[in-house]
Structure 1
């Protein structure tokens, strides 16, 4: 369920969720307003026009609250509408008289709003997400109509309040724009590219011993024929000739000399010259070719300035904790991850580098909690964290959020019985 709305209190000294008022609309066309203890609920057919009108009422309510707060309350009350997701199923299927359910949804929204745990969004952004959610919830199409770019379990993310990451990647390819995706490992950079481009995507993993031939091609022995060699195009040349998107994963490990091979490819020339190639030495990229560069900041050789200059934009891809919740990661693990990520972001400005769990780690925790239990999953997560103050802090957070009492999670280690 996608929720777009605001939260506020009529008493400036009240800070409890129970005291809050809400005004929000869901992707199912349900409009909810009033104090969380006594909500008023109405609904409309979730057409584009109806959702736009309902979201407009949310924005109007936010403006009214801010004007009143500015007049009556020192400092005013910020009411930028927030876009969040809930694991509450289809809101259109929840009856209006299900007051306990709507109260729970409203209180959870208030909690997320107070922590600003969501996307500050506008009306078009909400409508776009709502339409995507409805499409994703529809019955699977016939085999002939299946979108080959769909990746099960991947949840598209809004980038600027309007455009999703999937749409952005596809538009970049359509216009021949090369982009950089940066972020820690396991945040979904590669999965997003696969979701956007499906089997069309050419993927190359970069490494520190990489040479130019790994990109453009080389002569290789013909299997079963001693002394016979044939030319094999590399992934860069294949993608250029076939008009396909090329993903350069872990780009920071590509040596600077090899990175230089890409300079004429990424600028207006869109060409590469391969002197050893027997069948045409200068290759010009066909329509549909574009490069996606994935980097983990601070890893390997980094990325050269000329490469940065040729990229249309850089998209930062952090761990999506809202998506983690939608993927059924236990709430305690998400709460711990959120605290660690908030602390890491606050201290990054001072040059302090802190360990934070990746999306992959959180999904592993979800699976281990199902197979074993949450204590086992917590112990596995502790084992990933560097020893010392950071590990101690993680143990304390996990113990508190998971309610483990005195049974602090320790790194998994086999011992004699």
Structure 2
């Protein structure tokens, strides 16, 4: 095959009318495709008007035909269906043709043969394309004596002019789209401006209404202040009346008390006189011993002695073990006083959880009753349930120190009550109530041995 035959398929080697016929067929096929079937490179051309696809989209159409065998094959099938006889003649040369057969095929319709050879590309299609091109060149001039080359040049100029016009039309379309978008943006801005103006009017209306409500509130507050002043004046009058009545009642009480004392004294005098008369009548001898003589030297034992620490320090964990080993011992713990000494870096909730958990272990090992007191807040009394065997109390309307004092006072005399706190005021109060007091460090040392 000659070099000319090898290069005959290029766009520059094809006659203009052959190339135009191929592009027209490709444009018709492109218009019949579904959007999903259109090659990516031709999607923009697919949007063109049908009469403009072959001219305005000539370059992408030719590039796709050259590079995309699938699209070229689809165009070849459409061309073959329209010209089945010529297509069969071209395809029938798959075993190769000699120069005579090529010349006969090309002599019929040189342009159609060139188009079919380029699209179908049977065996020897390059020779067919060269022969058809030569036949087209030998056909001479067109009507009027105008050379074919001149006509082709004019056609090319017309194609370029139409392509330029299409490009300008595309630019115009883009400009129109941008103008439409600008108009849409302007309309959006106008709507936003109206909305903002409406919001501003609404805000001003709400501000006026709020100002009116504030003025009404000030008037109401002034009225309430006047009423409060009147109520205060009446309360002061009632207080003065109550104070006067209290003075009267106090005077009457003093008078009644004096009368009662007089009656009691008169009764005592009567009893004493009667006793003296009875002593005289019975001739009783005078008393030989005074009260001091009747006092037994060792009979008065005083208050019952309390178990002592036997010389051990209050911080000795063994002392706490001895106290908890006593029957029915009750351990009362000042919660935050102990937890802040050991877990001060934790939150209060975590401190409570750690301390109550450790006390639960102690209760499980010793069986002692344990009550842990924490400072609470206003509201109904709550009991915690952090661990089994530990009673958790939160003070309500008082501090935990006062709750501990009340717990100590509520215990019956003689029961062993051990209060764990480092607050010296609480220590003094509970010891005065008969309870034991050990510092927080003693309990913490005991808990570390669990």
Instruction: Indicate whether the TM-score tops 0.5.
Output: no
* Bigger RCO (CA 8 Å, 6+ sep): 1
Q: Radius of gyration: which is bigger?
A: 2
Q: Which has the higher helix share?
A: 2
TM-score (norm 2): 0.14
TM-score (norm 1): 0.15
